[in-house]
Amino acid sequence: MKEKTIRIGMVGILDGLFLTFSLYISAILTQNNSVIIPQFSNFLIIALTIKFGLLFITNTYNTLWRYASVEEMFKISLANVISNFLTFFILNLINPQLTTGFAIVNCILDTAFTGGIRISYRAARRFKNYNIPADGKNVLIVGAGDAGVSVLREYRGNPRIEDKIIGFIDDDVLKQGTYINGYKVLGELSELDKLVKEHRVQEIIIAMPSVEPDTIREIVNECKKTKCKTKIVPSLSNLIDSKDLTKQIREVEIEDLLGRDPINLNNIEICGYLKDKRVLVTGGGGSIGSELCRQIANFDPAELIILDIYENNAYDLQNELKRKMPHLNLKVLIGSVRDEDRMEQIFRKYRPQVVFHAAAHKHVPLMEDSPREAIKNNVLGTLNTAQTADKYHVEKFVLISTDKAVNPTNIMGASKRLCEMIVQSINKASKTEFVAVRFGNVLGSNGSVIPLFKKQIASGGPVTVTHEKIIRYFMTIPEASQLVIQAGAMAKGGEIFILDMGEPVKIIDLARDLIRLSGFEPDVEISIEITGLRPGEKLYEELLLNEEGIANTTHSKILIGKPGDLDYKILLRNIALLKQALKDVNTDIKEVMTRVVPTYHPASNSNENMAAPVVQATEEISVTSENN
């Protein structure tokens, strides 16, 4: 604030001096000196009052002139025209002998002087940037469009940036050899390596926020060949909305290569069920749960209640939300969804109206070795939370599910399928709207493949991939969370919503991309090792198998499966038998699960002990073709 006041004061003093000089010279040039000079001090006070007033009204003194453009010059010209018209009108009332020529010349000189001060400032800063400091870098911009020009303007005008822009490269033949604000389009992408060497480029900025991911991948691969540091402008919307572009230019991330379209939410629909409501998020400290909390907080809930069994995650999220949203009514609780007394206590005290159930064990290999824990936490925890929600008349209950619940071959997927069956069946017996939202892998979640690959790369490799042909669906954590919230707004009860995950990604290609982003060449500097599929792991995951049970929703990225005909009482009987089997360590718990979840087919079954007979609950929903 102090620097701004000093800057405005200095410009104001210069304006005052030049406007005074302009008034005096105009009088002489138009032979009005005999009229003006005798009353110069009086005329000057009137003129400066009007002219400074118009300059302030048009926000001239709040403009950052290092970014000055035609629009800013138009504003200052308009201020001078209006102020000189008013000045001439008032001075002419005092002395009618003033000529019109005086007003015209005075207006021209005022515009030249006040505009010249500001343009000179911008020109001086631009000249400074032509001389690269010793600790600055030569920077090349890929993309000579609007985003590239915005990067150029920021680098030229930001006093904190000591780097020097060398020029642009762009594949548009019409731009080849042309100049943009004095900087040349030096060539096309195929010439990148040559141009980097010629101009001693040390950093490349990709400023093409609207191109396809395949194009970004191609550009990144070319950039990595040069060994230059590579950064990217993430999105055009951020460019428009932010005043400081340098805070948005960042390292290239895997999300840039996968390419996910921005999510358009129906905020009115979402506010209808979240605003001024008490919202509980179980597993709120996890990857998805924490992002759900961040997103929900934006919709002004009456109270946000976060429940997690891990205190460190919950504590970190609590500090983050309190810092960013000090007015948020936030409660952070520690407890397990398996603990009936604790859940009863929470629901009785806080009376949540909306519940997002994200608490779950999710790691496939770990759960294969601890199947009982998967069932206790996922199945019994969901049943306990759902029944308590029903008891306390929660308005809406949203279960976070997974694509591994479709035709599961592992216990984690089978447990999540049973969770879906619980919420579908209890929905028929409850006034609460119970729904499930199913999606695939999320980028960067705790324990997921991307953080693992990054650790392996940082340690020098090898990067381990279980199979050359293994593929997975991916979306970002914010994207998944936003769509879950949107699906909750659409829910009527009993549905399974399936999120559009886009195109599947080969994990081995993902590994190669991450290696390149880290500055190494895959299979040369960092090796990739094929380790074989883990127990319960599929080559590919299924979000759905046929389209007969699929219906579109009002959102292009959310599909809906028709509710299945599930009998809640029969399902409870089966779960009771499952609970009994959990107590007997000699019982093959996976065998029991195959009877409760008919579509569960374990990849291997080492225990041949027969389980207690289980009654078929009913058919699965048609969206997953689990009866076929």
**Catalytic annotation, pick one of 51, 164, 277, 404:** 404
Token duo for residue 281:
């998020």
Write down the residue that tokens 């891990």 correspond to: 310
Q: What is the 8-class DSSP label of residue 376?
A: I
137 burial level (CB within 10 Å; 0-12, 13-18, 19+): middle
Q: What is the 8-class DSSP label of residue 623?
A: G
Of the candidates 71, 98, 70, 72, the one whose C-alpha atom is nearest the C-alpha of residue 84 is 98
Which residues pair with residue 20 across a beta bridge? none
Tell me the C-alpha distance between 337 and 281, whole Å.
Answer: 11
Give the start-end residues of each E strand in 482-545: 496-499, 505-506, 528-530
Token duo for residue 211:
């191109």
Tell me the C-alpha distance between 23 and 91, whole Å.
Answer: 12
Active site residue 404: yes
Tell me the C-alpha distance between 102 and 30, whole Å.
Answer: 6
Token duo for residue 161:
């940036």
Query: What Cα–Cα distance (Å) separates residue 228 from each residue in 12, 109, 143, 205, 602?
Result: 45, 49, 17, 10, 48
Token duo for residue 523:
């299979």
Cβ atoms of 528 and 508 closer than 8 Å: yes
The identity of residue 528, as a single letter, is I
Cβ atoms of 326 and 366 closer than 8 Å: no
Which residues pair with residue 397 across a beta bridge? 355, 434
The identity of residue 128, as a single letter, is K
Tell me the C-alpha distance between 469 and 543, whole Å.
Answer: 18
Query: What Cα–Cα distance (Å) separates residue 571 from each residue in 335, 392, 421?
Result: 26, 21, 8
Q: Taking every pair of C-alpha atoms in the chain, what is the biggest distance, in angstroms?
A: 117
Of the candidates 119, 130, 171, the one whose C-alpha atom is nearest the C-alpha of residue 148 is 171
Tell me the C-alpha distance between 81 and 13, whole Å.
Answer: 20
503 burial level (CB within 10 Å; 0-12, 13-18, 19+): exposed
Residues 6+ apart with CB under 8 A from 470: 506, 507, 508, 533, 537, 539, 540
Of the candidates 377, 366, 379, 373, the one whose C-alpha atom is nearest the C-alpha of residue 418 is 379
Cβ atoms of 332 and 314 closer than 8 Å: yes
Supply the residues annotated as catalytic: 404
